Chain A
Amino acid sequence: MNNSEQLLRRLPNDIGGLPADAIDRTEHALEPWEKRCHALADVLDFHKIINTEEKRRGVEALGAEMIGKLTYYERWIATFANILFQKGILTPSDLARKMDEIEART
């Protein structure tokens, strides 16, 4: 038995039943950009561009390290970008250019 087998048996999202810490019940109100990100997810779903299950699998495809280090909506927006690249809807250069443009104007 090799420990790496566990990696195949359980993808990063598949945590049901694992031991874990006590529940921290602190709650935070969504940042405006987080709420926009949520609305974007819903609109992408309405237009059948990215559905909920594609989004979940896309988050999983970020891998355990990113899942651990990014916040919830950081994972979502990174996932949307990846899926839009995969579907040929956006290119990484489109996004990089647009991000530079936004950075310059803010």
Chain B
Amino acid sequence: MPDHHHDHTHDHPHAEISQTERPGYYEIMETAVRELLIEKRLIGANEIRRQIEVLDSRTPALGAKVVARAWVDPAFRSRLLANGRAACEELGLSFYDDTGLIVLENTDTVHNLIVCTLCSCYPRPVLGLPPDWYKLKPYRARAVSEPRAVLAEFGTIIPDDVQIRVSDSTAMVRFLVLPRRPEGTEDYTEEQLTDLVTRDAMIGVVPVTLAAERTAP
């Protein structure tokens, strides 16, 4: 990586840093729109607070729970692949919007990758908010035309005899990748398996590996 970002010498004042106390133009616009809608009783102030709590409660740990359950429970796995949303709801995972969820299973012949070329649709109820790169042009533009090159940037090399399927999300239909269970985890408990599953593996840009373990053994 070129390090040109670090080259400039800070000989100019950073006014935007010294003024962080004052809200910027768009922040003021957000406050104004919200307050006007509350004044007109179109939305409730508590609804915004409650939805922030919902957003904060959604993290990739939820998706990881779904994946680990599918690995240990073949009947659940079948239900998950048949109807992603209903199977997640079975685990007590509520969908706060009216999106559908299709779960895509990686196998030894197919590797799945999810993208939203038009914007940033993402399985938020099960993974939380998407990473910045998911919302930016390079990933959105290239995932559909050169997925192997994109995967290589994440350090993921998929053998040529494995088909790569890229699924493009919509406002109503979201996708989640069911990664392959790593070898050497036959003795793992469901909880130990959950700790292996990362956000990026459920987007499909990396496999699940033992090295990714989030908690100490």
Contact = CB atoms under 8 A, between A and B. Distances in A.
Interface of A: 13-28, 30-31, 33, 35-40, 42-47, 49, 51-53, 56, 59, 70-74, 77-78, 80-81, 84, 89-90, 94-95, 98-99, 101-103, 106
A30 B33 contact: no
Contacts of B51: 39, 42-43
Interface of B: 22-23, 26-37, 40, 42-43, 47-49, 51-52, 54-55, 96-97, 115, 117-121, 129, 131-133, 135-145, 150, 153-154, 168, 171-172
Contacts of A36: 30, 34, 48, 52
A33 B132 contact: no
8 contacts: A20-B138, A33-B27, A39-B51, A52-B171, A72-B120, A99-B29, A102-B32, A106-B22
A52 B37 CA distance: 18
B165 to A, nearest CB: 15
B48 A40 contact: yes
A53 B27 CA distance: 23
Given A23-B139, A52-B121, A56-B119, A98 B35 contact: yes
Contacts of A31: 27
Closest 9 CB pairs of A and B: A16-B117, A39-B51, A20-B141, A98-B32, A52-B171, A33-B27, A17-B145, A18-B141, A20-B138
B117 A77 contact: no
Contacts of B138: 20-24
Nearest to B34: A40
Contacts of B34: 36, 40
